[in-house]
Chains A and B, each alone.
Chain A
């Protein structure tokens, strides 16, 4: 059944199409939704990265401001220590701190370059720091030349002290500005993180949901398809096994004359494998003359519609078999024929038994009639020619013999009735034998 019977295919298709459509629709929706959701998630993460970056930037600005204060404080403390004690050991930390102030300022400038408020505050702060550093440098340099307290020195110290306070408060002002920024940015980053998490969770939930729904639908579809295919297969197999176990030759052809299905008996009798038969027409299998005759029969059946029944002879494994064959159309529910079926039953044995019985009854009736004729004939002769030698009782007894002989003749005649009631109807014409049984060997 390589090409397979075509029934049931429509059923399978009808069952699977809506499910496949749904699955396609679902996957299409998923394909649209997932990139959109992923885009949103990526945007949220970018936002988060940016706010986290700005928070750390603020922290660096704060660190830098603190560092600047520490350096200025260090420089001033050591400068004052030197002025008070005159010990050179204060000079080294002073110069070290003084040297680090410039890089710190450069960093601070670059860190606040994106913030106009801080930039403005820094612009005010920088000259103050510069003046403060110059005063400290003057004092240290003056003390090294002449280590004595003068009026000028104490005034410079005083100015330096006040300047330092101003710088301190300016830096603190900048720190407060950064602190506000930090609070804002931290809040923003928490918010961003929360939203990113929400978006991610939503994306994952949605993706898992789509995959789950898709899988369930797909599983259902596959299951339904398997069930339908199995049903088609088993119904085909069930039909095939029923047909295979029939002693009759059975075949199905489509209306174009191609074999759809044959049973095992067909294979055995004609010596073809079903794979060599299905999909092929009579012209592929039999001699031209026979194929043409079968095709003519099929066309007759298709056009006439009524089943055909006939006897035919067939050469099977070197012996002639007699078959009683029926050919009929298989019809769809709307009565349109879609295939034709032939069933040929081997009646060779029955025919042989009939013939034997026929022969028996022939010889019985023939052989019995002859002695009966003699009994009747000679009784009659006795009655006619020797009547004078018989008394009334003798003649009556002969009469009984004659009556019983006649009865027996009638019984013998009846014996023949079941097989051939009278020879004369069958004598109407020799064409009779062609009408009943078909003669071409190999015919089904």
Chain B
């Protein structure tokens, strides 16, 4: 998978969820520029071009981040906080894609500046529908500064 021109960063530790999300994106013809990381620390390294991703140029995306809430090492809310706290990444759209429909999680996410909060539906058809809508919206319809 090319590191160049990444459009979607998928942060997800559950392999089943990763596969299902990838299939959903494929159905929406959005799977080409997806990069997957499996914990919060790796996500931060990728975003800020640090650690294993030190050679990466931050200009090369992603255009949107699909972020799970419960993650190993650094949890989703902390990743979100770090992205929104940094001038370089503040305008990067972050979509929470999670199983949690808990009010405190949702409130905290919006307080930290999340751009969307999506509760993953159990039913595959609706999951596909949600993921394709998200991809279309954030990659095609949404305009970002610069």
A interface residues with partner B (beta carbon < 8 Å): 362, 365-366, 369-374, 376-381, 405-406, 409, 412, 416, 420, 423, 426-427, 430
Do the beta carbons of A377 and B70 come within 8 Å of each other? no
Tell me which residues across on chain B come within 8 A of A420, comparing CB atoms: 102-103
Do the beta carbons of B124 and A377 come within 8 Å of each other? yes
Do the beta carbons of B20 and A377 come within 8 Å of each other? yes
Q: Which of B23, B100, B101, B122 contacts A376 (CB 8 A)?
A: B122
8 A-B pairs closest in CB distance: A374-B16, A409-B122, A380-B124, A423-B103, A377-B124, A377-B20, A369-B99, A426-B103
**Closest Cβ–Cβ distance, residue A235 to chain B (whole Å):** 50
Cα distance A292–B120 in the bound complex, in angstroms? 49
Do the beta carbons of A370 and B14 come within 8 Å of each other? yes
**Central interface residue in B17, B100, B103, B124, by most chain A CB within 10 Å:** B124
B125 within 8 A of A: yes
**Closest Cβ–Cβ distance, residue B72 to chain A (whole Å):** 14
Q: A373-B16, A377-B124, A381-B124 are in contact. List 7 more A-B contacts (CB 8 A).
A: A365-B101, A366-B70, A366-B100, A373-B17, A374-B20, A377-B23, A427-B106
Tell me which residues across on chain A come within 8 A of B122, comparing CB atoms: 369, 372-373, 376, 405-406, 409, 412
B3-45 CB contacts (< 8 Å) to partner A: 14, 16-17, 20, 23
Cα distance A370–B103 in the bound complex, in angstroms? 19
Q: Which of A370, A381, A412 contacts B17 (CB 8 A)?
A: A370
Cα distance A426–B102 in the bound complex, in angstroms? 10
Interface string of B91-116 (1 = CB under 8 A from A): 00000000111110011000000000
B48 within 8 A of A: no
**Closest Cβ–Cβ distance, residue A311 to chain B (whole Å):** 18
Cα distance A236–B107 in the bound complex, in angstroms? 51
The prevalent SS among residues of A at the interface is helix
Do the beta carbons of A366 and B124 come within 8 Å of each other? no
Nearest-CB residue, chain A, relative to B102:
A362
Tell me which residues across on chain B come within 8 A of A376, comparing CB atoms: 122-124
Do the beta carbons of B102 and A373 come within 8 Å of each other? no
Cα distance A423–B122 in the bound complex, in angstroms? 18
Q: How many residues of B contact A (CB 8 A)?
A: 20
B53 within 8 A of A: no
Do the beta carbons of B123 and A409 come within 8 Å of each other? yes
Tell me which residues across on chain B come within 8 A of A374, comparing CB atoms: 14, 16-17, 20
Q: Which of B16, B100, B106, B125 contacts A378 (CB 8 A)?
A: B16
Nearest-CB residue, chain A, relative to B20:
A377
Do the beta carbons of A416 and B101 come within 8 Å of each other? yes
Do the beta carbons of B107 and A430 come within 8 Å of each other? yes
Tell me which residues across on chain A come within 8 A of B102, comparing CB atoms: 362, 420, 423
Tell me which residues across on chain A come within 8 A of B17, comparing CB atoms: 370, 373-374
Tell me which residues across on chain B come within 8 A of A373, comparing CB atoms: 16-17, 20, 99, 120-122, 124, 127
**Closest Cβ–Cβ distance, residue A435 to chain B (whole Å):** 15
Tell me which residues across on chain A come within 8 A of B103, comparing CB atoms: 420, 423, 426-427
Cα distance A366–B102 in the bound complex, in angstroms? 9
Do the beta carbons of A381 and B16 come within 8 Å of each other? no
Q: Which of A370, A406, A426, A427 contacts B123 (CB 8 A)?
A: A406
Nearest-CB residue, chain B, relative to A385:
B23
Tell me which residues across on chain B come within 8 A of A406, comparing CB atoms: 122-123
Nearest-CB residue, chain B, relative to A420:
B103
**Closest Cβ–Cβ distance, residue B23 to chain A (whole Å):** 6
Cα distance A112–B121 in the bound complex, in angstroms? 148
Cα distance A423–B103 in the bound complex, in angstroms? 5
Do the beta carbons of A370 and B16 come within 8 Å of each other? yes
Cα distance A377–B20 in the bound complex, in angstroms? 7
Tell me which residues across on chain A come within 8 A of B123, comparing CB atoms: 376, 405-406, 409
Cα distance A190–B14 in the bound complex, in angstroms? 135
**Central interface residue in A370, A405, A416, A427, by most chain B CB within 10 Å:** A370
Do the beta carbons of B106 and A377 come within 8 Å of each other? no
Tell me which residues across on chain B come within 8 A of A380, comparing CB atoms: 124-125
Do the beta carbons of B16 and A423 come within 8 Å of each other? no
**Closest Cβ–Cβ distance, residue B131 to chain A (whole Å):** 11
Tell me which residues across on chain B come within 8 A of A378, comparing CB atoms: 16, 20
Tell me which residues across on chain A come within 8 A of B124, comparing CB atoms: 373, 376-377, 379-381
**Closest Cβ–Cβ distance, residue B18 to chain A (whole Å):** 10
Query: Known contacts A423-B106, A427-B107, A430-B107: does B14 contact A377 (CB below 8 Å)?
Result: no
**Central interface residue in A362, A366, A381, A427, by most chain B CB within 10 Å:** A366
Nearest-CB residue, chain A, relative to B101:
A423
Tell me which residues across on chain B come within 8 A of A409, comparing CB atoms: 122-123
